[in-house]
Structure 1
Amino acid sequence: MLDANWPDSWRNAFRIELRAEAIGLAWRGWPVLPGVNPVAVRGEDDDLTWRRPVPAYDNWSDVIGAHPHQVAEWFCDKTHSLLVATGTVLDAIEVDDELGKRAARLLRATGHPAPIVAMPNGRWLFLTTAAASIPAALAAQASIEWHGAGSWIPLPPSPFQHGVVHWRVKPEVWGWQLPEASAVHEVLVRALEGEHAIHLVESSAA
């Protein structure tokens, strides 16, 4: 996403935006981490493939909860991806686009939408309070990933190959109070069951 052909003013503006977001989240107590940007690597077919951002430091778990001043220093002179460690302040459930849309509709129907992040690779992240586990129905799905202790997620406006990570539902909607994990898990299970029911109807009609 960070095109080498961008004017310096664009790249600087993007770097400033990332830094401002990182500092703001750190002041709210979110465990911000600097991440490397997705990098292009040569695959077996010689096409360019992309990796998701990972922490910039191998000892990232040792710096969880860094002071906002430290976060400001990390993002001062480099364009890092904006990561947040999960398993302490917050968790995230990562799902595909179809399930994400179904769950988002159900959450809106309750009148209490959760913060939702969308990534350019078609994956959605539902943010919740930290939890000790997730329902078996979710854990059994290969397409669903729980980001808890020992993991991290990218937050806006981290760059990807064809765009940037962005909010579908901003944390301001909840007044920066994360929804209880169990409530969001329940909605995701309902969305999953509804998705399976639709597939069964389609299969029987074929």
Structure 2
Amino acid sequence: MLDTDWSDSWRGAFRIELRAEAIGLAWHGWPVLPGTFPAHAEAGGSWTGPVPVHQDWADRLDAHPNEVATWWNGRPYSLLVATGTVLDAVEVPDELGKRAARLLRATGHPAPIVATPNGRWLFLTTVADRLPQELAAEGTVRWHGQGSWIPLPPTPFQHGVVHWRVKPDVWGWRLPTADAVHSVLARALDQHDADQAAFAGAGQFAAA
């Protein structure tokens, strides 16, 4: 749908939803920002994902919700949140994300989780000063800290819409500590590596 349906009426309705979400997050103290959206590619440019619209976005992180509301008055900008001040995020492939989400549920302490249409999951945490080495060394894992940003629902991609896997109100708008989530992600990664090794061993046994 998002590849073709960018009519004025659709954009208007979607802009209202994005604006409402941005205002709500701003009132909770999250540093939201407007980002580019797929229709920008219609002007002849390429669109590989949302980036901040304003070059001085880092100077706008303490904007009042009333000012935030004006940013979405004209266009259906993507909804971004800056990382490194109020929250961080760890971005992982969806399979690793599913494993980590199951482990988090088992502890009874869910974390806010965002999923993107291109198969990535984002685990939101308190601000950290580093990513553990076992995660940093994994090429498919990305840490969003100071100077970065992530898309939040309902940001549109060319083949779908960003959505919540676990909404922040489930956690009472309290972010889990970065150490706790990093530990769970590391456990999920270990499980994945063990499963891969077992699968490879089974294949070798069958070949023999």
TM-score tier (shorter): over 0.9
Alignment: residue pair count: 202
How far apart are 1:4 and its partner, in Å?
5.6
In structure 2, what is the equivalent of residue 61 of structure 1? 58
In structure 2, what is the equivalent of residue 74 of structure 1? 71
The separation in 2 between residues aligned to 1:74 and 1:6, in whole angstroms, is 19
The separation in 2 between residues aligned to 1:83 and 1:34, in whole angstroms, is 6
Please, which of 85, 89, 93 is the counterpart of residue 92 of structure 1?
89
Cα gap change, 1:126 to 1:5, in 2 (>3 Å): closer
CA contact (8 A) 2:3 2:159 kept: no
- Describe the SS at the equivalent of 1:118: strand
TM-score, normalized by length of structure 1?
A: 0.92
Alignment of 1:1-206 (within 5 A): 2=2, 5-38=5-38, 39-40=40-41, 50-206=47-203
Instruction: Please tell me the residue identity of whatever aligns with 2:18.
Output: L
The separation in 2 between residues aligned to 1:204 and 1:3, in whole angstroms, is 43
The separation in 1 between residues aligned to 2:5 and 2:35, in whole angstroms, is 22
Percent of aligned positions that are identical:
68
Instruction: Please tell me the residue identity of whatever aligns with 2:11.
Output: R
CA contact (8 A) 1:32 1:65 kept: no
The separation in 1 between residues aligned to 2:36 and 2:108, in whole angstroms, is 36
RMSD of equivalent CA atoms: 2.0
Deviations 1:21-55 (A, max 9, x none): 000000110001111113448xxxxxx97411000
Cα gap change, 1:55 to 1:49, in 2 (>3 Å): closer
The separation in 1 between residues aligned to 2:201 and 2:195, in whole angstroms, is 10
CA contact (8 A) 2:81 2:151 kept: yes
How far apart are 1:5 and its partner, in Å?
4.0
Instruction: Please tell me the residue identity of whatever aligns with 2:21.
Output: E
Greater Cα shift, 61-70 or 106-115 = 61-70
